[in-house]
Chain A
Amino acid sequence: MGRPMTTPVPELINARPVPRPSTWVWAAVVLLLVAMFIHGLLTNPNYRWDIVGQYLFDPRIVAGVGWTLLLTVGSMVIGIVLAVLMAIMRQGTNPVLRGVSTVYIWFFRGTPIYTQLVFWGLLSVLYPRLSLGIPFGPEFVSFETTVVFNAAIAALLGLGLNEGAYLAEIVRGGLNSVDRGQTEAATALGMKRSTTLWRIVIPQAMRVIVPPTGNETISMLKTTSLVLAVPFTLELTFVTNALGNQKFLPVPLLIVAAIYYLVITSILMVGQHYVEAYYGRGFDDAGASRGATKGMSRRQQAILAAGTVRTNPNLDVTP
């Protein structure tokens, strides 16, 4: 950029790299081990690959995959909505809402997910009728608990409410990671608290929130297998276990389940990559390809851009 056009281009260095034979040694060792492992997988008759092939696209199992995906996506959506609400409430000015959010996080993080799921399943036994009304006064709406809280809803709510508590802490960490100067600049421009939050703080916090949320989603994919506590019996792990026990062939059906979990995880990882790239715009070259790139690291650019190096804006700073 800065170099005048007339400067002659010197002969560029084209030197031989330092030989690193260890790379090739390791490649040979790993290749050998992988070959041994694959050979073992394919030739060991106990794996019953014929059964794996036979059941891979069994309609009951494909339906189980569908339910697992539905539970994962559904509970994560519930969790994310709750988490954002709770994180905002926890930072807000209203002491009552702050208390509500603290107690929610304390309770749902503090008790085992399995226990919570059992309770959601027992809800219709504990409270046969649910009603909305004034305590000790008239009732407005009343319904049979089993009608609304069937096993699928109980599973979804159980997973979602538990996840919300964990995600709330992730979101709170994300909100706190945004430099205070950002809020100050927005406030000084006359923006309302909510505008500042949604337009300025949350988009930047997403950069910090997305990676652990992706991690939580992949974890949730596997956690859905716990809904047998409700009991909800249509998701992948339960279906494959049931079929495996029924045929006295647990191993090939475990492999079927593992294949699906791996495939879904891989798809989720690709999705996460794109979401991260979207929220990273303005922070690295990939997201902002137009214009000049300077000889700084991405991290340095982001720090300079966000001004995150200064922690206390109340201090006078003298050069």
Chain B
Amino acid sequence: MTAMVEISAVHKFFGDLHVLRGVDLEVERGEVCVILGPSGSGKSTLLRCINELERISAGRIVVDGELMGLREVTRGTTTELHRRSDKDIARQRSRIGMVFQRFNLFPHMTTLDNVMEAPRKVRGWDKARARTKAEELLTMVGLSDRMEHYPAQLSGGQQQRVAIARALAMEPDLMLFDEPTSALDPELVGEVLAVMKQLADSGMTMLVVTHEVGFAREVADQVVFMDEGLVVERGTAAEVIGNPQQSRTRDFFAKVL
């Protein structure tokens, strides 16, 4: 079976800014991959490129065997690249869950409605089915007593757990976490990481951009260190964090640990 995520030679420009400079990365099915690196190293951009929130400038991203955002069309002997339609890209995105640094819950909807919205509007589930799924997920993230609350009435940690449930409601094959604990008060980080660990144990394929080195050590199957738009080093947590080979990696961990 192929890997869940195959990223090859991906470049991304924002105007003149060369943010990703040839990134290669593979994430196997059921694997938890944690991306570490200094601010501005392009790790969040890489994550956003995987579900087409940003369009890559060069290279290929393949998720579950499907080229993201593009189609290869064979005309005789040549192969052309065609952009996928908005509808097709939306379908691809619906199979990838994403959790944002600032939660981005829908503030005008209750917790329950936040989780039910996408299954109903995108998957076309009926209300009863979406509700059952939402209740199950909110119970899993420990918020069964907060279903009728609005996001503004929840703590940051609770909001982020709702956001995780919201993404899981689409039954994704892959979950992307973009600094999920960076906007949280320190005492609330643990409850979010606990839910993520639980998810990892259930066999979900996860790509996590974070600054939580402890989480990487404990949960990650693969740790990737990025700097200046490149993957500098990758391997197990013990290899990359415990025994870094590159000087840039050593410098970074010397500062954060």
Contact = CB atoms under 8 A, between A and B. Distances in A.
B253 interface: no
Contacts of A302: 107, 152
A199 B182 CA distance: 28
A189 B151 contact: no
Contact of A314 (B14, B43, B94, B106): B14
Contacts of B96: 188
Given A188-B53, A282-B151, A319-B182, A200 B40 contact: no
Contact of B44 (A187, A191, A293, A316): A316
29 contacts: A181-B100, A181-B102, A181-B104, A184-B53, A185-B104, A185-B105, A188-B97, A188-B98, A189-B122, A190-B90, A190-B91, A190-B92, A190-B118, A195-B122, A203-B108, A204-B106, A279-B108, A290-B149, A301-B152, A302-B152, A305-B105, A305-B150, A306-B107, A313-B102, A316-B43, A316-B44, A316-B45, A317-B182, A318-B182
Contact of A310 (B38, B40, B98, B102): B102
B51 interface: yes
B117 A182 contact: no
Contacts of A195: 121-122
B5 to A, nearest CB: 16
Contacts of B179: 316-317
Interface of B: 14, 38-45, 51, 53-54, 86-87, 90-98, 100-110, 117-118, 121-122, 146, 148-153, 156, 159, 163, 166-167, 170, 179, 182-183, 211
B124 to A, nearest CB: 11
Contacts of B97: 188
B86 A184 contact: no
Contacts of B41: 316
A307 interface: yes
Contacts of B149: 288, 290-292
Interface residues of A, number: 42
A121 to B, nearest CB: 43
A283 interface: yes
A307 B153 contact: no
Given A188-B53, A190-B122, A290-B149, A317 B93 contact: no
A294 B117 CA distance: 26
Given A184-B53, A291-B146, A318-B39, A189 B167 contact: yes
A293 B153 contact: yes
B51 A188 contact: yes
Given A199-B117, A288-B152, A293-B153, A282 B107 contact: yes
A193 interface: yes
5 closest Cβ pairs, A-B complex: A190-B94, A318-B39, A185-B104, A305-B152, A305-B107
A225 B156 CA distance: 53
Given A316-B40, A316-B44, A319-B182, A307 B152 contact: no
A282 B150 CA distance: 5
Contacts of B159: 305
A281 interface: yes
- Determine chain B's interface SS by DSSP, over half rule: loop
Given A190-B122, A304-B156, 13 more contacts: A188-B53, A190-B118, A200-B106, A281-B108, A282-B152, A290-B148, A291-B146, A305-B105, A305-B107, A316-B39, A316-B43, A317-B179, A319-B211
A247 interface: no
A204 B107 CA distance: 8
A277 to B, nearest CB: 13
Interface in A271-316: 279, 281-283, 287-288, 290-294, 301-302, 304-307, 310, 313-314, 316
A3 interface: no
Given A302-B152, A314-B45, A317-B39, A192 B100 contact: no
Contacts of A287: 150
Contacts of A283: 107-108, 150, 152
